[in-house]
């Protein structure tokens, strides 16, 4: 891929210091975007990624912010306005899951935290993005890509029904928002990855979860973060100019 050092397009990727978010940040940088890497805890990983990305693009910033909190989301978007300029693309990538268990073992605090992190972050960031992108508010349009999950379809029984429910909410939010802003220059879509090789599975208590489950995947393997990033990039690009409100499965046939 050629290196494009013009940075007229701006992307924010939430939770981008590792995994699918990091792969997505690299791909946008390789395509000439100015990139904002949002992260919450991993200062060192975020700085390392920024240094790597600066090989491909002239502009990259890291912003530490908990995107489940509205004041921090406001600060994140204000920094991007000031340092990178007009927002073109938002990728709502943040997502957490907790230890695998039965539904009736999930306590109220955990349920609240998973819903708040996964759904509220998408709601708060999308709201800020719409205010900047919509031609109703003087913006020039843009694209929002939400990272949902195949769990929205399966419900994740005996693992994390709370996580699955949060991804179901992302799907509904994607559909409704897409229709509201379709005539205002903004496209809103979601990807629904299946089993992808990242560190998220360790949070569920089973780092090798994909090894256990891969024979159930028609393609007989887990996916790579770069394979998800390619679809996110396509949904954000003009190549998908008539696609909105779509939920794209990236799951090896699941």
β strands within the chain, DSSP E = 10-13, 34-39, 60-64, 89-92, 142-147, 186-193, 247-250
Does 49 bind ligand NAD (CB under 6 A)? Our answer is no
Residue 32 CB, nearest approach to ligand NAD (Å): 23
User: Within positions 201 to 230, which residues make up the interface with ligand NAD, using CB under 6 A?
Assistant: none
Decide whether 109 or 241 has the Cβ nearer to ligand NAD.
109
DSSP 68: T
For residue 134 the two structure tokens come to 């919509």
Which range, of 47-55, 105-113, 193-201, 241-249, touches ligand NAD by CB under 6 A?
193-201
Which range, of 48-56, 88-96, 102-110, 153-161, touches ligand NAD by CB under 6 A?
88-96
Q: Which of 7, 47, 61, 66 binds ligand NAD (CB under 6 A)?
A: 66
Which range, of 5-13, 87-95, 105-113, 128-136, touches ligand NAD by CB under 6 A?
87-95
User: Within positions 5 to 24, which residues make up the interface with ligand NAD, using CB under 6 A?
Assistant: 14-15, 17-21
133: burial class by Cβ within 10 Å (0-12, 13-18, 19+)? buried
Q: Which of 35, 90, 200, 248 binds ligand NAD (CB under 6 A)?
A: 200
Residue 242 CB, nearest approach to ligand NAD (Å): 25
Residue 160 CB, nearest approach to ligand NAD (Å): 10
The Cβ-side half-sphere exposure at 142, using a 13 Å CA radius, reads 28
Q: Are 23 and 147 in contact (CB under 8 A)?
A: no
Residue 14 CB, nearest approach to ligand NAD (Å): 6
CA dist., res. 250 & res. 156, Å (int): 17
Does 193 bind ligand NAD (CB under 6 A)? Our answer is yes
Does 195 bind ligand NAD (CB under 6 A)? Our answer is yes
For residue 62, report the phi and psi dihedrals to the nearest 5 degrees: -110, 140
Q: Are 34 and 10 in contact (CB under 8 A)?
A: yes
Decide whether 139 or 150 has the Cβ nearer to ligand NAD.
150
Q: What is the largest CA-CA distance in the chain?
A: 52
Does 128 bind ligand NAD (CB under 6 A)? Our answer is no
CA dist., res. 189 & res. 211, Å (int): 30
Strand partners, 87: none
CA dist., res. 243 & res. 245, Å (int): 7
Catalytic residue list: 163
Q: Other C-beta atoms within 10 Å of 6: how many?
A: 10
Residue 65 CB, nearest approach to ligand NAD (Å): 6
Residues at the interface with ligand NAD (CB under 6 A): 14-15, 17-21, 38-41, 66-68, 93-96, 117, 121, 147, 149, 193, 195-196, 198-200
């Amino acid at each position: 891929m050629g290196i494009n050092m013009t940075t007229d397009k701006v992307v924010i990727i939430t939770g981008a210091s590792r995994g699918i978010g990091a792969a997505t940040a690299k791909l946008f940088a390789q395509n000439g975007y100015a990139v904002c890497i949002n992260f919450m805890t991993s200062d060192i990983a975020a700085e390392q990624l920024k240094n790597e990305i600066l090989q491909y693009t002239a502009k990259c910033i890291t912003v530490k912010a908990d995107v489940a909190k509205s004041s921090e989301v406001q600060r994140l978007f204000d920094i991007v306005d000031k340092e990178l300029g007009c927002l073109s693309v938002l990728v709502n990538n943040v997502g957490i899951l907790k230890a695998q268990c039965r539904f009736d073992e999930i306590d109220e605090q955990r349920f609240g935290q998973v819903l708040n992190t996964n759904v509220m972050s998408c709601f708060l960031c999308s709201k800020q993005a719409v205010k900047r992108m919509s031609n109703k508010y003087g913006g020039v349009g843009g694209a929002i890509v939400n990272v949902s999950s195949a769990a929205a379809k399966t419900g994740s029984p005996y693992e994390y029904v709370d996580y699955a429910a949060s991804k179901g909410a992302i799907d509904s939010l994607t559909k409704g928002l897409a229709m509201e802003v379709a005539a205002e220059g903004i496209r809103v879509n979601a990807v629904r990855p299946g089993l992808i090789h990242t560190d998220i599975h360790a949070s569920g208590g089973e780092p090798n979860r994909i090894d256990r489950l891969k024979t159930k995947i028609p393609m007989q393997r887990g996916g790579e973060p770069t394979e998800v990033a390619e679809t996110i990039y396509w949904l954000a690009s003009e190549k998908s100019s008539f696609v909105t409100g779509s939920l794209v499965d990236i799951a090896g046939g699941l």
